[in-house]
Structure formats: C-alpha cells, structure tokens
Copies of this chain bind each other. A is one copy, B any other.
C-alpha cells in the first residue's frame, strides 16, 4: 500500500482513478475526511482502538461509486468506550469495524440516520462486529442496530452478547421515508443473547404496534440465530409484507412471531431446539400470512411459545392487540420431536375471533411416542386441514385432513429427517430445503460463540485450614477451578469476591467456615459459585442487620450467574435480624439456583430472597430455582421469596421447584413481609412435591400474568395452613 502524507491526512491512490482512499488516524482527521467526500471515496480507519468515537458518516455516493468507511485491516479496528455510528445520505458502505469494550451514550450503536428525517438510503453495513457493547446498567434500554430509510442492507455482521435491555436490532417505520423500505438483512450471525428476565430482549423487531398495519417489505434471509434467549420473541414482526427465509434458529428460546401486519412469508427456515427449554417455532397472527416449508425439530416451547401457534384474534382489534388470522397458508412444514402445536391459541372473551379462510396442509407432525401435541382451543372450522400426517397418535385432536399412520423417518443428504415411505413424499418440508451453513454468516475473522463457562472444568487447588485461606486461594483461582478444603476451621476477615465460575468443596462435615464481614461471598459480574460439602456458620458475622452468607454484587450485573449448593450445612445466620443466606441486588439475574441435599437452620432472614424488582416492570431476579432433598429449620424469613411483578407477558420465568424437602418452623419471624414459608409472586412454573412442612407459615403462590403452571402434590402439612394459590388480577 502506498501512502502519501498530506497535512493531517494520508491519501492512498485507489484503483478507481479519481476516487481516493483516505487512511485516517484520529477523530479530527476522520471529520475532515467526511467533509470532503466524493462518490467512490473510501475512508479507512487506522488499526487500533478508537475510544469515545461517535462516528457521523454522511455523504452521497452513487450506485456505481458508493462511499465506503472501512478498517485499515478487518478485525484490527476497535471502536470502544462511549461510541456509536450514524450514517445518512445515499450509497454508503460501512465494513470491517468491531464495536466492543464500551457502549453507546445515545440510544443506538449503529443508526441508519443522522437524526429524525435524515436517514440513509441504498446503504449497507457489512462485516461489522458488535460484541457485548452493553450499557453496564442491565435495564437501561438501548439498541445495537436501528435501520431507517429505504433499500438498505445489513449483511454478514456478527452481533453477540447483548445483555442489557432493548431489542438487538430493529427496523423502524417511524417516518414516511422509512416505510415500504425493501431492506435486506442477510447472512448475519446473531450470536447468543442471554435471558434478560424482562421485556425488551428480542433479537430482531420489524416495525412497532404504532405502524402495525404498514408494509415494511423487509427481507430477512440466511441469518443464523444462535441461542437468542433474551425473551419470548426471538423475532417480533410488527409490519406487513416481510419475508423470512432460509434462516437457522439454533437452541433459541422463543418464537418468530408474526405479531402485527399482513402478508408476510415465512419459508425454508430451520428451527433446531435440541429440546432446550422454551425453544419455539412460529406464531401466526393477522391476515395473509404464509408459513411454508419450515423444519422444526426438538422444540419444547408451550402455549404461545410452541413449535407452531395459530392465534385467535380480537374482533375490531385496536392497533396494539391481536388482528384475527385470515387467509393463512400453513403448509409443508415438518414438526418433529416437538411438544406443542396450538390452534386458536389465546381464545378468551377478548380474543374471540377464530381463524378463517385458512389452510393447514401437507404438514408433518412427528413424535416417536405417539402422543398428541396438537391443542385446539376454539372452533377451527375456518381452517381447511388437508394432507397432513402424524405418527400413530393415540388420541389425535384432529382427524379430518390428517393421516395418522406408522411413520418412519430417515435422514436425507441435508441431514434433516423425512418420512421413509414414499406415500408421504409430499408431506412436510421439501428435500431440497437447505440448512444454513453457519460459516456463511457473520465474518470469518471473528470467532463465533462457544459454550458457556462451567463449573469444575479447571484445576483443583488444595488448601489447608486458616484465616483467609479461602480468600487467598480464590484470588488466584481460574475459571472453572475447584478449591478443595482440608479438614479444619476457616475464618474469613474479608468478603470473597467471585467473578468467575468457582467451586469450593470439602468432604461433607469436615470443613467449617466463619466470616467477619457482612457477607462471606459476593458473586460479581462473570461469577458463578458452587459450594459442596461445606459447613458455614454466621456466628462471627457483624452485629448489624441485613448480613448475608452470599450476596450478588450490589450493582447491576450484565452476566447471569449460577449458584449451586450441595451436601452442605448452613447455620446460625443470626447475629442480628434480617440475615439472609442469599441476598441479591436489583438488576441482577440468576440463570439457575440449585440447592440439593443440604441443611439450613437458625436463620433470621430468608434462605433465598429474589424479590428486589419491586417496581413491577416485569423484571425478576432469577430464572430457575430448585431445592431438592434439603432441610430447613428455624428460618424466620422464607425459604424462597420470588417476586416477578408487572403485567407484561414477555418472559418464560421464573421457575420454582421444591422436592423431597422438609420445612420446620419457617417464615414466622415478625419481619417476614412475605407472610409465607415460600412466596412465589408471578412465578410461571411451580412444582412443589413430596415435602413435609411443619409449624410453618403457608406456601403462597400468587399468579399475576400469563398462564402460569402451578403443580403441588404429595406434601405433608403439620400444624401449617394449606398452600394459598390465588390470582392477583393483572390483565
């Protein structure tokens, strides 16, 4: 490359002759370069980190001579700190940038407009990476990509790890200049998005309810949605005339939802759930939708999150509710080893308009065990069923239009499954269906996400008893390491901060731990903690109210954590009142908390207090809480206090399980505001089985929103009121 230094800028002659390539090394140089752009010009950002860089890229290229902003070397230009990118004008191309180690100070990282009314047209963002470029405040809303204008393309980009609130990417129809936009969103890698525990965790949204009867004409094709688990909509389609085709949804919780707008086509997509919890397929609402030749396998989602859901609508629906399904074509889809197909879903007094003028044909629904997965919630006479096939279903919900036979599936060259019997050659997805190659998405020079960090995958560190011995060992431990305690006493004068997955283990009953600070462990961002075989006492803790054995970081945490306690004894958390086993902060989130085969006794607070999101905005503090084979004695607070307020229905959790455990004198402290031994408010799935509860306050389950599943059975109550399960109201 030839470089000629000219004043503050470095010019490089490009092969196009007059058009220039300008290598810039500072924000001032960049601004000067933008001021003097001609069609065909390229601005190259010099390699390295560009900190606090709010890029405003404007210009007017032509179809033949676009204007380009790119990296000196792809993968070696990092936009960090408080940074973002706005583009406005025509025929602009951005490529090769990496946004990471920072967040946008505005509400968007990449915006296809300068400001209201001044968008980009015929412009493209390609081969750009946004990697965990998150506002540190979990529930501060922002967006990574906002498409405005028309005829823009977003392709071959890599977006991974959005952990704060806000849709990852949105197509906006706010202004007239952004409607019927014919955007193309293709070959992107939408990498893992963790469970948000709130509304606002969609990966892609097209339109909003304000423009729900407007056409967008956006094409979304050949994108890879890898574990996009933010909330219950992976894609929220809120406009008309869009096309979703050739996309791969891998282990993603939630569905592609045709929430608003008519005339959208969903075809040739592959959904592989691998039976991960809440993996879903396609939800159909509104008129003229086509759902064709999609392949769903191993989807466990239920209710509105099923493999295929056809909703009831609201007669004369307001903009933000449900238009009825009219003239839907649902054919040649394969639904294999999945749990739920729902027809007339949501039928209630308000959603009383059943589907009409629709066809459900040539679909394959296959489950090895012959169980029926089709639920019919209302009159489906407006749907013509024809040529569908199921596998030996014992009690089919529908018979007309279904062949219920012994099917055998075999893998084709594309590794998808098809009926072996030629009789069913036209049922289900086409043998020509191509499964998207992940390597064709995103960029080659930035690795796609692997599996998450796990416990017990690192070294084992053996330590002897002594003051602060665990603190010192933890400070030096790596992710996944195990600290193995020799028998003896361990006094901690400092709180152990856990910012990586860490296991503390001892032979049960041999190692006893006391602590002098207000908490023994603090789980910080990136941390997860497993305690195995420990005996922990609170008797050396300070004489102040509100201590904890374990607490989360006091601030917002972007990383979801796991806490596992097994074969342990936790006792005498009682130096003062309100001493919890686990205290969490607002805006922290546990992916899972598992307590097994452990004893908790003499505690003046709660065992698990997951009740900090009291603003009723639909937030909560943990997804899966499980307590099995454990004993809880003399607990002044609740064994678990889980609170999920708010009336939105955007989350799958929280989930709670208590099995084969005993509670004795639980919840009777005067400060126990939950007034329960276990309080579950807004929990979506509850299983309480095979427990003994004595001399305790009742279990209280308060249903708030959604269609929560609460199962209780084989619990023995002694001098304890019956469980209270009630509806809170909500909408």
Contacts and interface: CB of A to CB of B under 8 A. Distances in A.
A115 B467 contact: yes
A347 interface: no
Given A115-B467, A141-B544, A673 B554 contact: no
Interface in A526-563: 542-546, 554-556
Contacts of A518: 140-141
Contacts of A140: 518, 554
Interface residues of A, number: 40
Nearest to A619: B546
Contacts of A587: 554
Q: Is the interface of A mostly helix, strand, loop or mixed?
A: loop
A516 interface: yes
Interface string A95-126: 00000000001110000000100000000000
Contacts of A199: 545
A523 to B, nearest CB: 15
Given A106-B516, A554-B556, A615 B208 contact: no
Interface in A319-351: none
Contact of A139 (B208, B543, B546): B546
A671 interface: yes
A617 B546 contact: yes
A568 interface: no
A360 to B, nearest CB: 35
B578 A542 contact: no
A615 B467 contact: no
A35 interface: no
A106 B494 contact: yes
Contacts of A166: 544
Nearest to A140: B518
B516 A578 contact: no
A395 to B, nearest CB: 43
Contacts of A379: none
A543 B208 contact: yes
A137 interface: yes
A679 interface: no
A493 interface: yes
Interface string A666-702: 0000010100000000000000000000000000000
A406 interface: no
A200 interface: yes
A199 B671 CA distance: 17
Contacts of A615: 546, 578
B578 A141 contact: no
Contact of A107 (B208, B467, B516, B616): B516
B165 A107 contact: no
A182 interface: no
Given A107-B516, A546-B617, A578-B616, 16 more contacts: A105-B494, A105-B495, A106-B493, A106-B516, A107-B517, A107-B542, A140-B518, A141-B518, A141-B542, A208-B543, A545-B646, A554-B555, A554-B556, A555-B556, A614-B614, A616-B671
Interface of A: 105-107, 115, 137, 139-141, 165-166, 199-200, 208, 467, 493-495, 516-518, 542-546, 554-556, 578, 585-587, 614-618, 646, 671, 673
